[in-house]
Amino acid sequence: MNSLKKIFIRGLTLAVPLAIILYVFGRILEIIKKVIAPVAEKWGIHRLLGDATLTILAILFIALIILFLGFLLRIDSVSKIRQQIEDLILKFVPSLNFLKLMAADKLELANSQNAWKPVLLFIESRYNAAFIVEEDESMVTLFVSKGTTLKDGEIVTAYKKDILIVPATYEQLNKFSRSFGKGFISVVNKAKKV
């Protein structure tokens, strides 16, 4: 029952900001449709694609605005203002931070899966979450995680004969590191049985 309650609360923390975003997007879409309707009628394109013409034009207009804002963010002063606005919004709607972290995790997951091979490294009498960066027949270079996120760590180059590498997945490294190591023992025990 407690687990169901946690799942419901997590779902709620995701549903509320999504509902707000969709509502705001819908309102902006309606406003833009009203603004561009006279121009579209004047040019005779208000029914070019049927009843959805104004909606499509409004979405294209929003996409152009977003593209323009993306170019503006290349300017340092604008980027700083964006950060201040984001911090202010997160104070009033803290669950938006949850969405931001989820998006960052998914991006980090995709980048790490494509770049380095995730493993558990046994060196100096302990196991560490690590990624193989480079290897040849006798040596290996690894990025060894030193915290609960996989971003902080150190680079280790060692002879393969001096270390033990246990295969793992990125999902395991990420999940178990965020759980302060809970779960790594099962990966190590499974590797010992093989």
pLDDT: which is higher, 90 or 56 = 56
Could you read off the pLDDT of 116-125 as tens digits, one per residue?
788 888 877 8
Query: Residue 113: which pLDDT band, with cuts at 50, 70 and 90?
Result: very low
Full set of structural domains in the chain with CATH: 2-105 (no CATH), 116-193 (2.30.30)
Residue 67 CA: distances (Å) to CA of 18, 53, 89, 159:
22, 21, 21, 49
Q: Check residue 98 and give its pLDDT.
A: 61
Question: Any alpha helices (H) in 44-94, and if so which ranges?
Answer: 53-72, 76-92
Give the mean model confidence (pLDDT) for residues 94-108: 60
Give the mean model confidence (pLDDT) for residues 105-121: 64
Select from 23, 24, 48 the least CA-distant residue to 36: 48
